[in-house]
């Protein structure tokens, strides 16, 4: 029997698909990831289930859409009735390890850490070191480790409190407070160290049983705001920041305006300012790509890559002024939900150089990993992304949801209530992608329809001119929301037997075997 593969889930947080040459960029920003894409099966139209980290990661880890797992707020906790990917793989005999730089995934107590034998969070004052079991520490070392553990726990509890308390969260977004948590708490983590630690685990396998396969989740935050790329990368992609005092002032102000990363813009970004944002975003992406390239080279030289399954993707993208938006707090436009996805497979289940040109949901990373580990049910195996190489198991249809963040809404209602009304920030958004088109529904009766093949920037709303397509896609959304609502009302859908009629509808969405 062939040895089950090691599995790497590499999440390049906030990376837009349009920054990769493999997705059409004319600029060589991410050569390492593009080289990985060449050796992988590439999914050209991968759609994230949500536009920000918590619900998107929850879908990656459970295989269901946000309206099912309901982990959509900073204070949400993943339902116990939904087993996570790490739990499933751990129970199937895998050593499960996480190297996480995103505090929303690695710090907040939301259930996303469930199932990991080792979960290292790099967003904080210290990082722990996995798989270094050795001689029993002396008394002094034990006292030091105890103190470090106590202080780390205190900081973690503090960070968790800020995420769950509206007053503290609003305080944390003030210009006076932002530089403190960005610097002292290492908001973007430590990409270099997390990749070094992950490579060490795969290559040396300390603490892993003989012949035991490894599942590792890595999240890198280097591309996320604020923008502070190393000088050589700024020189290459945003030289005006180094030479123009006005550009430096704008970037300094932008980096400390965390509330501005969330709120829609009252006025469009000027051409000069957009060039700064694009350039600094590209600089961060290029530097992180350099680190990823070093990591992949280590694994290649050790002979690891050709024996393993690597799934590299983004959880969401980022707005840089498009549609008068910054960041990723609202909207389901392509800048946020069309993400890179590539799968490199030593077993050749995913052929090198193959492309999948229909829509797929990244929630199906869950099913793909379980299938590769020989731990999937028949229904789950049918939803592996391997099936899309030769067919369309979900008919080339993918959904994405944006559920208003309550603490964000409270802040917006205090500071910019007119934007809440004019941009419908308090409304649930859902998008369906099918047959080259996307329909976005905002609230009960607002619709935007786009031809994503001929208009990927979504500038021409076709909702008034293509009535038949609008009606067809509205029907898909209606079916989805009905089924998802019924699934959400079935308390522990993986533990209790649901009503037979509901079960049949859940099977049609791939949630039950």
Handedness of CA 339, 344, 348, 349 (dihedral sign): negative
Q: Is 144 left (phi over 0), alpha (psi -120 to 50) or beta?
A: alpha
Architecture field, domain 7-133+144-397: 3-Layer(aba) Sandwich (3.40)
Query: What span, in angstroms and rounded, lies between the C-alpha atoms of 194 and 127?
Result: 9
Query: What span, in angstroms and rounded, lies between the C-alpha atoms of 358 and 338?
Result: 12
User: Model confidence at 207, in pLDDT bands (50, 70, 90)?
Assistant: very high
User: Model confidence at 203, in pLDDT bands (50, 70, 90)?
Assistant: very high
Query: What span, in angstroms and rounded, lies between the C-alpha atoms of 262 and 250?
Result: 17
The residues facing 11 across adjacent strands are 219, 313
Q: Is 353 left (phi over 0), alpha (psi -120 to 50) or beta?
A: left
Query: Where along the chain do its domains lie?
Result: 7-133+144-397
DSSP 448-500: EEEETTT-TT--S--TTT-HHHHHHHHHHHHHHHHHHHHHHHSTTTTTS---H
User: Model confidence at 483, in pLDDT bands (50, 70, 90)?
Assistant: confident
* Contact assessment for residue 38 and residue 304, using Cβ atoms and an 8 Å cutoff: no
- 246 or 164: which leads in pLDDT: 246
User: Model confidence at 486, in pLDDT bands (50, 70, 90)?
Assistant: low
**How much is the pLDDT for 153?**
53
Q: Are strands 437-442 and 214-220 parallel, antiparallel or unpaired?
A: unpaired
The residues facing 431 across adjacent strands are 400, 440
Residue 280 has pLDDT above 50, yes or no: yes
**How much is the pLDDT for 259?**
83
* Contact assessment for residue 46 and residue 351, using Cβ atoms and an 8 Å cutoff: no
Residue 145's SS3 state is helix
């Amino acid at each position: 029997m062939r040895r089950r593969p090691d599995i790497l889930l590499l999440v390049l947080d906030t990376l837009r698909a349009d920054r990769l040459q493999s997705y059409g960029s004319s600029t060589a920003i991410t050569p390492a990831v593009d080289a990985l894409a060449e050796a992988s099966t590439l999914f050209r139209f991968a759609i994230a289930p949500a536009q920000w980290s918590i619900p998107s990661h929850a879908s990656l880890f459970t295989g269901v859409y946000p309206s099912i797992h309901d982990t959509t707020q900073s204070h949400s906790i993943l339902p116990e009735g939904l087993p996570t990917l790490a739990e499933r793989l751990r129970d199937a005999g895998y050593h499960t390890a996480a190297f996480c730089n995103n505090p929303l995934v690695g710090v907040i107590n939301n259930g996303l850490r469930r199932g990991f034998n080792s979960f290292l969070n790099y967003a904080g004052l210290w990082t722990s070191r996995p798989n270094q079991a050795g001689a029993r520490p002396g008394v002094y070392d034990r006292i030091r480790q105890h103190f470090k553990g106590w202080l780390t726990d205190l900081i973690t509890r503090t960070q968790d409190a800020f995420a769950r308390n509206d007053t503290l969260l609003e305080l944390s977004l003030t210009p006076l407070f932002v530089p403190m948590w960005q610097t002292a708490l290492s908001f973007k983590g430590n990409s270099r160290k997390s990749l070094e630690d992950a490579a060490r685990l795969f290559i040396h396998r300390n603490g892993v049983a003989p012949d035991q396969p490894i599942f590792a989740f890595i999240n890198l935050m280097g591309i996320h705001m604020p923008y502070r790329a190393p000088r050589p990368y700024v020189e290459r992609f945003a030289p005006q920041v180094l030479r123009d005092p006005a550009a430096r002032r704008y970037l300094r102000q932008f980096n400390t305006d965390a509330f501005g990363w969330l709120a829609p813009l009252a006025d469009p970004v000027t051409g000069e300012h957009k060039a700064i944002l694009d350039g600094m975003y590209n600089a961060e992406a290029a530097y992180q790509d350099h680190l990823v390239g070093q990591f992949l080279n280590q694994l290649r030289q050790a002979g690891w890559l050709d024996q393993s399954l690597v799934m590299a993707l983004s959880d969401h993208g980022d707005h840089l002024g498009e549609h008068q938006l910054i960041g990723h707090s609202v909207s389901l436009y392509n800048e946020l939900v069309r993400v890179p996805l590539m799968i490199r497979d030593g077993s050749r289940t995913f052929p090198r150089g193959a492309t999948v040109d229909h829509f797929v949901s990244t929630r199906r990373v869950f099913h793909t990993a379980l299938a590769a580990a020989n731990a999937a049910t028949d229904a789950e195996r049918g939803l592996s992304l391997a099936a899309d190489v030769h067919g369309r198991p979900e008919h080339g249809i993918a959904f994405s949801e944006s559920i208003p963040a309550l603490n964000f809404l409270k802040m917006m209602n205090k500071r910019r209530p007119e934007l809440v009304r004019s941009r419908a920030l308090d409304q649930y958004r859902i998008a369906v992608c099918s047959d080259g088109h996307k329909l976005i529904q905002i609230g009960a009766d607002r619709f935007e329809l786009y031809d994503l093949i001929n208009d990927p920037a979504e500038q021409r709303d076709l909702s008034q001119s293509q009535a038949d397509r609008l009606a067809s896609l509205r029907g898909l959304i209606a079916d989805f929301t009905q089924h998802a609502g019924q699934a959400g009302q079935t308390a522990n859908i993986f533990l209790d037997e649901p009503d037979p009629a509901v079960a049949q509808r859940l099977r049609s969405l791939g949630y039950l075997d």
